[in-house]
Amino acid sequence: MTANTPPRFIRWFADISIDDIPIVGGKNASLGEMFNELISQGVKVPDGFAVTAEGYRHFMGSTGLDERIRQILTGLNTADMDNLQQRGSEVRHAILATPMPHDLEQEMLDAYARLSGAQTLPLDVAVRSSATAEDLPDASFAGQQETYLNVQGNASLLEHCRRSFASLFTDRAISYRVDKGFDHSLIALSIGVQRMVRSDLGSAGVMFTIDTETGFRDAVLINAAYGLGENVVLGSVNPDEYYVFKPTLKLGFKPVLQKRVGSKEFKLIYDTGGSRMVKNVPVAPGDRARFALSDEDILQLARWACIIEDHYSAKRGQATPMDIEWAKDGRTGELFIVQARPETVQAQKNLDIIQSFKLKERSKVLITGRSVGEKIATGPVRIVRSVEFLREFREGDILVADKTDPDWEPVMKKAAAIVTNRGGRTCHAAIVSRELGVPAIVGTEHGTEALKEGQIVTISCAEGDTGFVYDGRLGFDVQTTSIKELQRSRTKVMLNLANPEEAFALSFLPNDGVGLARMEFIINTYIKVHPLALLDFDHLADAAARAEIEKLTIGYTEKSQFFVDRLSQGVAMLAAAFYPKDVILRLSDFKSNEYANLIGGRAYEPVEENPMIGFRGASRYYHPRYQAGFALECQAVRRVREDMGLTNLKVMIPFCRTVEEGQRVQAEMEKHGLKRGVNGLEIYVMCEIPSNVILAAEFAEIFDGFSIGSNDLTQLILGVDRDSEIVAPIFNERNAAVKSMIAQVIATCRAKGRKIGICGQAPSDYPEFAQFLVEQGIDSISLNPDTVLKTSLAVLQKEQELG
């Protein structure tokens, strides 16, 4: 080849577009597309070149390998593991033992020299396999071929390029192609040779522009760990997890919805003193407890994810959620995108069909982790410690392992569910289980120890982000509902929600927003500490409480910030899931005995004979005993609305006894930047005390709306302690006195032009009560999620009767 003759088998990223998949495969085509089209928008992609599919075919054809491989694979039975392994090994050995043609080798070395430039030491590159049928919108080929990192020098480059060609015929790749109906002889392999990003000194990971479990499309999910990114991809570590909300990010806000620190036990780094290219080393305990990325890095990656998704969506003429790999250079602090491909599971989900799994019973929890999918499965535990154990695996077993290996995919298809010690929700086990449609729980840390061989267990991924392994075979229901033809009512149907982990999934129910978001659940589950104990941490006398708080708040010098961070993230998940619909957050409504049960709480709470009608709700917010704690609640709400841009969040004051008390609470809120009417802030009041009904016209002057709390209202109208077993039978929201007062307050609110809804239990339990509310002209009914479809039909029926 002369200096002026273009290479036959090499294409530089600068000369590649997404239309070149047949020439350079999916990975390389995508890298070239981004290198050419998105660098101008600030997205950074390391330079490199591709060895084309023609180079692969030249190698196969000129050496006779193509015919030999065809003969070896004739009559293959992928269900027979021994047969698959024996033939796969024979094919790979043949490729590795065959020298490459001289012209192909020379072009590779010339391109490597050009990429290296003037540097004297051999350039470190990543060698990535890129099959011509991979990363298509309907087939992920996740982990089917190999990637080699920190490849240096001519000899190493040629060796790993040959290994890449051989990886087209790993056992898993052969099995996958057969099952997907791809002809081996029609698929070729291109190789990407790309400058390494020194993330061995920094961090790396994966991000999706769609929620991987629910298909919620307005969030970017980012996983991050220290070192080279293969640990995250393969599930070798439990990474950090971050969510960013796309709609308000694009408006210039900083909506980091949630941050979860992963254990990040190991990091993959360059092996400078050994014979290997890379090695795993332990991460220091202090670093494991810290986030691998700053908020600015998280937001920058999310912005790039949006740019990449928007570009590919425009290119394809339809929404195209993306699966992206990124790396941060530890020397320069720069972020880079090193791969991008279409997401292939949730993007194809039929959003008109809602399938929900629900346990009928519960038993002892054996272990928990991050849930993948939303299904439930039962079966016997089969612990797989190495490839030898795969032969014992039977259809319907629960696969339990430290982590899954791509070579296991032929067996993973037989599993009823998958449980791993390590890995996050973007790891290999998670990706494959989604594609197979089986539930998985990853990152359990001790699953292989907590579970016993042959033990019957139930795997539940139907309870939010946390997956549970229960002892024994538990019964469960599966409900499939088509919402395509469901007519919507004039009366707004909203949801009662508490758990942020369920918000994305529940957003697909037919709804008009959230009528009651319970702050107490977030405090109880994600914070666990009394806010005053955090504010007063340095002077806390309770040594046991101090130790618990120290453990929960690792990395926080200002302990109160832990409360604001966790609360704002929990609330933000709820607000984002239903954006731009209203999400009405009820401020804390713990009673004094419940506050006392929080860590460190007993020192700050009075002992009351009847806390149900004691120091709760509005009366706490301006009182010196809790004023400083309420300030933290206000800070969290303000952060969600102002920093994250989620102005669909409204707030609601519970147990507000008098109009004067409502004014005092609003004055307190205003001190902390929450002024009614500013930036669209609406403030509602719970209608749960007879005074709220009797003085509804006066309350309407200072509040934007009312939400009827039928539980407390019934209790106070009938004088019944709903917690008392003796008088509990008298408690009945359908009592004539209760219904009369509800009718009265609805009429008053309509006359005053104020919104009026209900968030109490009655319409969820009794469809006829919901119909009564429709007759009275209520604006909205907020329901428990599992009753939405049933009660919506009852509401529609009554509206049709009324005309």
List active site positions. 428, 759
DSSP labels, 471-511: ES---EEEEEEE-TTPPPPSSEEEEEE--GGGHHHHTTSS-
Q: If phi over 0 gives left and psi between -120 and 50 gives alpha, with beta otherwise, what is residue 268?
A: beta
Task: Using alpha carbons, select from 424, 428, 455, 453 the residue that is nearest to residue 441.
Answer: 424
**Do residues 459 and 376 lie in contact, with contact meaning Cβ atoms separated by under 8 Å?**
yes
Contacts with 422 (C-beta within 8 Å, 6 or more apart), sequence order: 235, 236, 237, 238, 265, 402, 403, 442, 443, 445
What's the count of helices (H) and strands (E) in the chain, helices before strands? Answer: 30, 30
Measured between alpha carbons, how far is 104 from 741 in angstroms, rounded to an integer? 86
Measured between alpha carbons, how far is 624 from 326 in angstroms, rounded to an integer? 49
Task: Using alpha carbons, select from 271, 258, 186, 749 the residue that is nearest to residue 522.
Answer: 258
Helices (H), 137-264: 154-166, 171-180, 230-234, 246-249
Radius of gyration from C-alpha coordinates of the chain = 30
Q: If phi over 0 gives left and psi between -120 and 50 gives alpha, with beta otherwise, what is residue 626?
A: alpha
Q: Which residues pair with 207 in a beta bridge?
A: 222, 324
Half-sphere exposure of 272 (CA within 13 A, CB side): 3
Measured between alpha carbons, how far is 279 from 149 in angstroms, rounded to an integer? 10
Residue 241, phi then psi, degrees to nearest 5: -135, 130
Cβ neighbours, 10 Å, residue 182:
16
- Pull the structure tokens for residue 399: 């696969």
Cβ neighbours, 10 Å, residue 362:
13
CB crowding 187-196: b at 16 or more within 10 Å, else e: bbbbbbbbbb
- Pull the structure tokens for residue 479: 């409900």
Cβ neighbours, 10 Å, residue 729:
8
SS3 sequence of 262-288: CCCCEEEEECCCCCCCEEEEECCHHHH
Please classify residue 636 by burial: count the beta carbons closer than 10 Å to its beta carbon, then call 0-12 exposed, 13-18 middle and 19+ buried: buried
* Single-letter amino acid code for the residue at 43: V
Cβ neighbours, 10 Å, residue 42:
10
Task: Using alpha carbons, select from 505, 631, 501 the residue that is nearest to residue 572.
Answer: 501
Please classify residue 582 by burial: count the beta carbons closer than 10 Å to its beta carbon, then call 0-12 exposed, 13-18 middle and 19+ buried: buried
Measured between alpha carbons, how far is 549 from 277 in angstroms, rounded to an integer? 42
Please classify residue 414 by burial: count the beta carbons closer than 10 Å to its beta carbon, then call 0-12 exposed, 13-18 middle and 19+ buried: middle
The sheet carrying 335-342 orders its strands as: 256-260, 240-245, 219-226, 203-208, 322-328, 335-342
Measured between alpha carbons, how far is 32 from 24 in angstroms, rounded to an integer? 10
Contacts with 170 (C-beta within 8 Å, 6 or more apart), sequence order: 88, 92, 144, 145, 146, 406, 407
Measured between alpha carbons, how far is 303 from 313 in angstroms, rounded to an integer? 15
SS3 sequence of 576-610: HHHCCCCEEEECCCCCHHHHHCCECCHHHCCCCCC
